[in-house]
Structure 1
Amino acid sequence: MPANRNTMKKLTRLSIHPALLLASLLLLGGCETVIDANLDEGPAQLSVDGFITDQPGPQTIRLTQTTSYFNNGTPPAATSATVTLTDNVGNTFSFTDSDNDGYYVWQPPTPSATLGQIGRTYQLSIRYQNDEYRATSTINRVPVVDSIIFREEKLNPLSDETGYQAEFFARDLPGQTDYYRVRYFRNGELQNRPGNIITLENASFQGSADTDGLVFIRPFRQSINPENFYDMGDSVTVEIQSITPDAFSFFQSVSGQITNGGLFATPATNVPTNVVNTTPNGRPATGYFITSAVRSKTVRVGSETIRE
C-alpha cells in the first residue's frame, strides 16, 4: 500500500542530501587551528646524568646543556668541565672527557677494579663555566636475583599461537626499609618503554603493607615482560639496583611525567634534582646523580627454565 502524503513529508524532512553531508564533514574536519607558541628561551643549564655502580670497569658521568622546549635534537655536550668524585673514606676519582663529547669517564687501574663500594657515600663535584656543582649519594645493599622462569601462554584465549612469559624471584633484605629499581634486557637490549620504570619499597609498592624481608610480590616478579611474548632461545637478563629514598622519588616523578597524557593530563613540570650549584647566584642544574649496587642474572628460554 503506498505511503500517505503526511508520511512522505516526514521522510523528506529526515533525509539529508549527499552534497550537504559532505560539506558538513569537510567543515568539521577543517576546525583544527595550528598555534605557533613563541616561548621565551632562558639561559642554558647544566644537565647531569650520573650513575655510578659497584660493578668492575669504567664509570661514566654525562654532562649536557639544556635547550629550548621544542628542540627535539640531541642536547649539546657540556665540555671542558672538571669532574671529580670523592667518597667518605678519603678516596678521590677523576673523570675525564677524552673525546670531548660530554662523556666524562673514570678508567679503573685494572680491568677488575671497582669504584663503588656498598655502604660508602660519594660526593660529585663539577666545575663548569665558573659554576661549582655538588651532589651526594650512598650505595646501599641489594639482593640477588634468585631465579628466572618462563611459562607458555596463549596470545589470547581464542588463539592457537603461544609464547613465553617470564617471572623472576628475589627476596628483600630484612631489617630496614630498602628501595630498589628493576631493569630487564631481551637479547641484550634494554627494555625502555615508559612503563618499564620499575621501583619497589622493600618487596612491594610504596606505602603498602609491611613486606620487609619477603619475596618480591607477583606484579613486580612478572613486570619483566615486553609487549610481545618471549620466543624459545631468547636471552633474558634481570637487574636489581639499590637506590636511595630520594632516587626512588626521582624515578617516581620521571614515570609520572613521561606517562602524563590523555584527557586528564597535568601541565609538565621539571622533575627534582639533587645537583646543587654552590656558586652564589649561579645557574641551577637539572638531572640526577645516583649510586647503586647492582645484581643481575641471565637465562635463556629453554626446557630447563620453562615451568608448567
Structure 2
Amino acid sequence: MKTNRFMPGLLLVGLGLAGCEDIISVEVPDGATYLVVDGWISDQPGPCTVRLSTTAPYFSNQATPRVQGAEVMITDNDGTRDVLKETEPGLYQSATVRGRIGGTYTLSVTVAGQTYTAQTQINRVPTIDSLGVVYREETDDHDAGYYLTYFGRELPGRGDQYRIKVFRNDTLLNNPELDLFFFNDDFLDGKYLNGLELSPGPFRSGDRARVEIHAITADTYGYLVELQRQMRNDGLFANPTENVSTNITAVSRDARPATGWFGGSAVQSKTIYIH
C-alpha cells in the first residue's frame, strides 16, 4: 500500500470537499493572476459546491479575491444540467445534481466572457466494517491519547485510490502536517485492512469520531502526489519549484491562466464514540 501525507503552505486553494475544510497550496509566479477553481461533487446529500477566486502574490497581506457573477454549470453523462447559484461571493452551489457511482461530470465556468471546463468521474467505494481505538502513551512522535483503527476490505480489482478524512465531534481534523492521508491499492488489492491505524488524533474520552473514505480518481490521486512532492521539495538540494498540474482547461482563446481542481468521490463513513 502506498500511503501519503501532504503539508500545504503557499497560495491557498481549497481541494473540493466543500466548506473550506481542505486547504491545498499552489505556487504561481508573483505578478501572474490566475483564476482558481475549487470544485467537488460526491454521491452524498447536499449541494455540490464550487468556489471561484483569483490568486494573489505570495507576500500579499490581502485576502484572496473572490470571483462574483460567474456562470457555473455541471452536466452529467446523461445530459442532466444544473446551473449553480451564487449563494455568497465566490461560492456557487447546485440545486439538483448529485453524484452517482459510474457517473461522469463536466464543470463549465464562464467569467467575464472566458470559459473553462473540467471533468471528473465517481468511482466505487468500499464499506467500512468498523472502527476501533488504541491508546498510545506519549512519545516523541505523538501525544498520549486514543487513536483510531480502520477495519474493512479493499475492493477486488486493481486501480482504486482513496482518501481518508477524520472528524472529531463533526470538525474535520485538518492539521496540514498530519491529516491529509491518501493511498492506492497497488499492494493491497482485495485484502482486508485489519486495524489500519489512522494518524489524526489523539482523541479523548467522550469524543465522537467519524471516519470517511473517499474513492478518488487516478487523476486526483496523481494531483495529491504531485502536491506532496512539491511541498517536500526543500533543503539544500531542492529542485526548482514548478506549478502543480490542474484539470481546469481554458476553452476561450486568450483566456487568463487557471489553476485548481474539480474532483468527485463516492463516500462511505462510520462513527465511533470514545469511552
TM-score bin (small chain): 0.7 to 0.9
Q: Residue 189 of structure 1 is aligned with which of 171, 185, 189?
A: 171
The secondary structure found in structure 1 opposite 2:192 is coil
Q: Which residue of 1 aligns with 2:121?
A: 138
**Alpha-carbon distance change, 239 to 264 in structure 1, aligned in 2, over 3 angstroms:** farther
Q: Residue 93 of structure 2 is aligned with which of 101, 105, 116?
A: 105
| Matched-pair identity in % | 38
Q: Residue 299 of structure 1 is aligned with which of 263, 272, 275?
A: 272
CA distance in 2, matches of 1:127, 1:225: 38
CA distance in 1, matches of 2:265, 2:65: 27
Q: Which residue of 1 aligns with 2:250?
A: 277
Aligned residues: 244
Q: Which residue of 2 aligns with 1:232?
A: 205
CA distance in 2, matches of 1:133, 1:272: 15
Q: Which residue of 2 aligns with 1:34?
A: none
1:58 Cα deviation after fit: 1.6
1:217 Cα deviation after fit: 7.2
Q: Which residue of 1 aligns with 2:231?
A: 258
CA distance in 2, matches of 1:125, 1:163: 46
CA distance in 2, matches of 1:63, 1:245: 24
CA distance in 1, matches of 2:200, 2:131: 12
**Alpha-carbon distance change, 73 to 188 in structure 1, aligned in 2, over 3 angstroms:** farther
CA distance in 2, matches of 1:246, 1:55: 21
1:235-292 CA-to-partner distances (Å, cap 9, x unmatched) read 1111101111010011112223334444444333221100000112322210000011
**Alpha-carbon distance change, 293 to 154 in structure 1, aligned in 2, over 3 angstroms:** same
For 1:62-141, list aligned pairs within 5 A: 62-99=51-88, 101-108=89-96, 115-141=98-124
CA distance in 1, matches of 2:122, 2:264: 5
Q: Which residue of 2 aligns with 1:215?
A: 192
1:208-236 CA-to-partner distances (Å, cap 9, x unmatched) read 53x21112376xx212432xx32111111
Answer with 183-192 or 161-170: which moved more. 161-170
Alignment of 1:41 with 2:41, yes or no, is no
**Alpha-carbon distance change, 216 to 259 in structure 1, aligned in 2, over 3 angstroms:** farther
CA distance in 2, matches of 1:247, 1:73: 29
**Alpha-carbon distance change, 154 to 95 in structure 1, aligned in 2, over 3 angstroms:** same
CA distance in 2, matches of 1:75, 1:40: 14
Structure 1: give runs of 5+ residues left out of the alignment: 1-38, 109-113, 203-207, 303-308
Structure 2: give runs of 5+ residues left out of the alignment: 1-28
Kept in 2, the 8 Å contact 1:224–1:238? The answer is no
CA distance in 1, matches of 2:204, 2:199: 14
The secondary structure found in structure 2 opposite 1:268 is coil
Point out the structure with max Rg over C-alpha. Answer: 1
Answer with 261-270 or 80-89: which moved more. 261-270
1:7-52 CA-to-partner distances (Å, cap 9, x unmatched) read xxxxxxxxxxxxxxxxxxxxxxxxxxxxxxxx8613x221000011
CA distance in 2, matches of 1:212, 1:243: 16
Q: Which residue of 2 aligns with 1:15?
A: none
Q: Which structure has more strand as a fraction of its residues?
A: 2
CA distance in 2, matches of 1:215, 1:271: 34
Kept in 1, the 8 Å contact 2:152–2:194? The answer is no
Q: Which residue of 2 aligns with 1:61?
A: 50
CA distance in 1, matches of 2:84, 2:31: 31
1:122-143 CA-to-partner distances (Å, cap 9, x unmatched) read 0001111121101000000101
1:162 Cα deviation after fit: 5.3
CA-based RMSD: 2.1
CA distance in 1, matches of 2:194, 2:138: 24
Which residue identity does 1:168 align to in structure 2? Answer: Y
1:59 Cα deviation after fit: 1.7
